[in-house]
Amino acid sequence: GAVVSQHPSRVICKSGTSVKIECRSLDFQATTMFWYRQFPKQSLMLMATSNEGSKATYEQGVEKDKFLINHASLTLSTLTVTSAHPEDSSFYICSARNPGGKSEHEQFFGPGTRLTVL
Amino acid sequence: LAKTTQPISMDSYEGQEVNITCSHNNIATNDYITWYQQFPSQGPRFIIQGYKTKVTNEVASLFIPADRKSSTLSLPRVSLSDTAVYYCLVGDPYTGGFKTIFGAGTRLFVKA
């Protein structure tokens, strides 16, 4: 199946700093990518839909100025956690569909990024 | 988006068949049913997807009754490595980019 990568896999930062997480579709083009957050022992929570060439669509309760999303190319979306605080510590996961692929309805998930804010 | 209901957890033993049922009473006509597997600290992995009746692949089967208000994921002869969280999702892949909303999932524990 199609591959989605994330970088970094884990990051530790100080409170107040900003952290950028990259999500790449390695062997297909993705006009739409999704960003999720997952706290321990909980399910994935959809944060936003990243659209190539246009503004991201944020879910209710997610601060767009706090979580900046940029989808500048068909293979790359970035999530920047601005002025991170300890409560932002979580597992961030991105995903993308491959509409031209064999399983066009399948959604491919990245391996996740573990963010720890001290 | 249709809401799904699954058992919170299930236990099984190696070699047994495991069936996880998901309820989705408000499923819409264009909605597909998809199951994902997630191991700790990893992204979810696609298992199987279907629209109606029965779908089978190399790892699982998906049974969907005629009214489509529920579905059952069947894992044949589970092993310890099948211990994971299994999510049932319902959505229309042709609209909204198939925005995927996850429910609580089912934690499957496979014992030796």
pLDDT along chain A (118 residues), means of 10: 91 97 92 93 92 90 95 92 97 86 74 97
Cβ neighbour number for residue A74 with a 10 Å cutoff: 15
Spatial CA neighbour of A97 closest among B62, B89, B83, B40: B89
Torsion of CA A102, B47, B38, B26, to 10 degrees: 100
Residue B97 has pLDDT above 70, yes or no: no
Q: B80 or A72: which carries more pLDDT confidence? A: B80
Please give the pLDDT value at position B12.
97
Q: Between chains, do A112 and B49 touch, taking CB under 8 Å as contact?
A: no
For chain B, the average pLDDT equals 91
CA atoms within 13 Å, Cβ hemisphere of A117: 17
E strand intervals along B1-112: 9-13, 18-23, 32-38, 45-50, 53-56, 61-64, 70-75, 84-91, 106-111
Per the structure block, which two tokens stand in for B19? 């069936």
Please give the pLDDT value at position A1.
66
CB contacts under 8 A, B 89-108 vs A, are 93, 96-105
B45 touches chain A (CB under 8 A): yes
B109 touches chain A (CB under 8 A): no
Please name the member of B42, B93, B105 whose beta carbon is closest to the beta carbon of A43: B105
- Residues B79 and B99: their CA atoms lie apart, in Å, by 31
Residue B96 has pLDDT above 60, yes or no: no
Beta bridge pairs of residue B20? B73
The DSSP symbol for B39 reads -
Q: Between chains, do B97 and A91 touch, taking CB under 8 Å as contact?
A: no
Residue B49 has pLDDT above 60, yes or no: yes
Span B10-32, average pLDDT: 94
E strand intervals along A1-118: 4-7, 10-13, 19-25, 32-38, 44-51, 57-58, 67-73, 76-81, 90-97, 107-109, 113-117
